[in-house]
Structure 1
């Protein structure tokens, strides 16, 4: 395959589905859902090819494309500032592109539960996928920002149009918080462009390391702005309240994408731009990041224990697990940073699995309130078994991806800040408490009369469940499938921070 345009084909291939859907009659539910699903298979095939042909020994970006695009200022007068269309993949981008393609395809299957206006739904769904793929492939800040903004528009409508009772409030909250985060990010990117004359990520990585102490205030200002912008997306306490509304009110397939992929843009930004471009400043903030990570972990876990809605349990669980990403970053060593990346991928798979299973129960019962459920293992034994499996993966059962990511992140933190790490282990204990409490209350105990004759999980619904569990176990048993593509990228990051 000609690699000169391969990555652009991967990113924009969902456009084919959008164009074909535009010509579909809007009342053909089965045809639209089938086409929407098939449209996700092309980027998935490209992503699998990219992973299979990715050279694990190459230090630079692969599948690189560079085209002259926009020039700000008067180039003829000698002061034009060029911005190019440039995409490529390093190890981190590669694994996140593959994760995005996998979860998008499985979320398209989960969209069988969408009840109305399927044509508009899938067109927005595929537009969202383009934005997510582009974010992880962009090699300059301008292109990254464009793709980042592209994810906000379809998400707003997917939440507000196809969500549950308070969907408008959730959509507005999403837009306000993420819009403010985007504004802060844009200010930071403009400041970088004005000061350096480039937005290329690799060039900025070298240039920032060469700037003298007189530029330290500039570096600190930009880094703090990026911490706020990506802290909203991750999210970091106290910038998290919007995410709770989204996870409860958005349709389950969209929550799979939001929790599984979109939150990971925050982790990607902190690692790629924070550690990559401002390593010295991040090193100075390591203690603060470690404390924030432990607080996220314990705060999310504690509040998850007292929730009565299964969706809220999983929403606070996401906040808690994103604390582990911060913990790994704060460790500033190989084990910690690798653990942060592993947690980013692992949580993407596990959260997608759990939110899909919640949608399966919700479709049968019409509720996600824990006290209204109970005893579902009698009428839905297979689905209940899968829910327990997902809970075990989330709490870090050995042999699953959650274990290896948490182990590495805490190993790294214990080497740097043993007291903070020891406090953080309380969060691991609380995780087991809230997950087992929620799972056992839903699946065991006396079965209510109205739940006696529920249909168990259907074969079509088992497809995403089995695939997600397969990847979770694969990473847990053979972590090298994830570690190998990351190794060179990880060494480059560590060399920048002296780790």
Structure 2
């Protein structure tokens, strides 16, 4: 059976929803929201089918597609792949997991979008275009196609923040665009240098080419040049992750964007930074990456502690979660900086785990804001009286985020720190202060909201509604599943980690 069309269908399926929405009158709110939700389902079903295809022992290469697209220069007769950009999509264990994570979070964020109050047609059209960009980023098999999809995510996100956000939405949208635009510019420079020096943009070919002593370069790159390109990648993807001090734009987005959009931003878009560092930094420049291990570990500890300590003093729960994201992305850097199997696997686990946990918590933010019109911890004091179920799930989400055993957060944090303790135990010991602080700021915020001093009566307030159970139960089930059976991730990721370790000489 020919499966080469499957990835193209997966990536571009949401566009069918955009086409349908174009013909729906903008006043038909229920129809628009239903179409917006249903348009995310084909991608979810296809991504699940790919995952079960893998579990059945079949090769993910069955889904690879490559077709001629753009040819530069007159090299086609010499070598059809020389200075050619092909339309190439493929997945391995890591990218398959990221595609599945994207499909799940996008579908659940579409459910959360039911709380959007105005201009639903434009919102869902942009939402679905954003999903296409995210899926394409993880499925692209060459750098230029990756960059195109990467750029596709910026435009709809800019408008989703600036149009449907809160009081300072325009400032948040422009901060997002400026910072990420600069990161994109740096990434484009790296891609163009690699393409012009090697004659290829295929990720697998580049990985072999750059690390082969017998490679015939169009124009060789010096050792210093390789370090320069790797550092540029670190900055480009560091903005996205974000790495301190390139983080201020992300705080504005988390606070000013609507919660359904923040579910996408925190759950998926931030993870593109980690994905790029692993896929391109470690993959294409492994020898150079080894020398940056200590720097990454130090940056990770700084992220972890900085985010944790500032989260502790916040009065707005959205700001607590924003600084928490900075802190938890530090664990990704700690794992990568360890440069061993445990650390790298922990970093990838943290990418997936935080994607689920942050989406879960921001969905609950949407639920609380919809009922009360506030996210200030003080104003939500005693909310457990009126919304006991939502308050209980909020506490469960906090437990997952602080790394309670049996939940996904514990697995990722344990492996990342295990990797760093093997290499730099003193730095790892300092980093554990961030883990302690995570428990402190999360319990302070959550207990303050659920059982804190009440400034208003929450009698008669609606608890979790019928449709809201879908994201709550789905995300919590996945968080527990990964915590109890981490093999659901470690199995698909094994070959990816082995390939990275081979490149690092481990």
Is 1:24 the counterpart of 2:31? The answer is no
Find the counterpart in structure 2 of residue 67 from structure 1. 67
Is 1:420 the counterpart of 2:420? The answer is no
Find the counterpart in structure 2 of residue 98 from structure 1. 100
**CA–CA distance in 2 between the matches of 1:71 and 1:55?**
37
Find the counterpart in structure 2 of residue 255 from structure 1. 262
**CA–CA distance in 2 between the matches of 1:292 and 1:323?**
7
Q: Assess, with a 3 A threshold, how the Cα gap between structure 1 residues 27 and 304 changes in structure 2: closer, same or farther.
A: same
SS at match of 1:451: coil
**CA–CA distance in 2 between the matches of 1:449 and 1:101?**
39
Alignment counterpart, residue 285 of structure 1, candidates 269, 285, 292: 292
- Provide structure 1 residue ranges, at least 5 long, that are not aligned to the other structure: none
Find the counterpart in structure 1 of residue 339 from structure 2. 332
Question: Displacement, 1:207?
Answer: 1.0
Alignment counterpart, residue 91 of structure 2, candidates 85, 89, 92: 89
**1:59–1:488: 8 Å Cα contact kept in structure 2?**
no
SS at match of 2:85: strand
**CA–CA distance in 2 between the matches of 1:253 and 1:104?**
9
**CA–CA distance in 2 between the matches of 1:291 and 1:449?**
45
Q: Assess, with a 3 A threshold, how the Cα gap between structure 1 residues 217 and 58 changes in structure 2: closer, same or farther.
A: farther
Question: Displacement, 1:75?
Answer: 3.5
Q: Assess, with a 3 A threshold, how the Cα gap between structure 1 residues 55 and 488 changes in structure 2: closer, same or farther.
A: farther
Question: Displacement, 1:450?
Answer: 4.0
**CA–CA distance in 1 between the matches of 2:409 and 2:143?**
31
The equivalences for 1:369-380 within 5 A come to: 369-380=376-387
Measured against aligned partners, the alpha-carbon deviations of 1:120-154 in whole angstroms (never above 9, x if no partner) come to 10010000000000000001000000000000010
Measured against aligned partners, the alpha-carbon deviations of 1:169-206 in whole angstroms (never above 9, x if no partner) come to 00000000000000000000001011111111101111
Alignment counterpart, residue 244 of structure 1, candidates 238, 246, 251: 251
**CA–CA distance in 2 between the matches of 1:102 and 1:372?**
32
Find the counterpart in structure 2 of residue 50 from structure 1. 50
Find the counterpart in structure 1 of residue 217 from structure 2. none
SS at match of 2:460: coil
**1:62–1:90: 8 Å Cα contact kept in structure 2?**
no
SS at match of 1:370: coil
**CA–CA distance in 2 between the matches of 1:31 and 1:186?**
40
Question: Displacement, 1:280?
Answer: 1.0
Question: Displacement, 1:77?
Answer: 7.9
**CA–CA distance in 2 between the matches of 1:41 and 1:72?**
38
Measured against aligned partners, the alpha-carbon deviations of 1:221-247 in whole angstroms (never above 9, x if no partner) come to 110110000000000000000000000
**1:65–1:88: 8 Å Cα contact kept in structure 2?**
yes
**CA–CA distance in 2 between the matches of 1:259 and 1:62?**
31
Q: Assess, with a 3 A threshold, how the Cα gap between structure 1 residues 56 and 183 changes in structure 2: closer, same or farther.
A: farther
Question: Displacement, 1:13?
Answer: 0.5
Matched pairs, number: 499
Question: Displacement, 1:449?
Answer: 2.9
Aligned-residue CA RMSD (Å)? 1.5
The answer to which of 52-61 and 436-445 deviates more is 52-61
TM-score where L is the length of structure 2: 0.96
Find the counterpart in structure 1 of residue 140 from structure 2. 138
Is 1:454 the counterpart of 2:461? The answer is yes
Is 1:435 the counterpart of 2:442? The answer is yes
SS at match of 2:89: strand
Q: Assess, with a 3 A threshold, how the Cα gap between structure 1 residues 136 and 201 changes in structure 2: closer, same or farther.
A: same
Find the counterpart in structure 1 of residue 315 from structure 2. 308
Is 1:155 the counterpart of 2:162? The answer is no
Question: Displacement, 1:215?
Answer: 2.1
**CA–CA distance in 2 between the matches of 1:336 and 1:297?**
15
Question: Displacement, 1:457?
Answer: 1.4
**CA–CA distance in 2 between the matches of 1:153 and 1:445?**
41
The answer to which of 209-218 and 402-411 deviates more is 209-218
**CA–CA distance in 1 between the matches of 2:83 and 2:56?**
34
Is 1:397 the counterpart of 2:397? The answer is no
TM-score where L is the length of structure 1: 0.98
Question: Displacement, 1:370?
Answer: 1.1
Question: Displacement, 1:498?
Answer: 1.6
**CA–CA distance in 2 between the matches of 1:288 and 1:36?**
43
SS at match of 1:265: helix
Is 1:355 the counterpart of 2:362? The answer is yes
Find the counterpart in structure 1 of residue 38 from structure 2. 38
SS at match of 1:446: coil
**CA–CA distance in 2 between the matches of 1:110 and 1:218?**
46
**CA–CA distance in 1 between the matches of 2:366 and 2:412?**
26
**2:4–2:62: 8 Å Cα contact kept in structure 1?**
no
SS at match of 1:316: helix
SS at match of 2:86: strand
**CA–CA distance in 2 between the matches of 1:166 and 1:477?**
41
Question: Displacement, 1:452?
Answer: 3.0
**CA–CA distance in 2 between the matches of 1:159 and 1:300?**
23
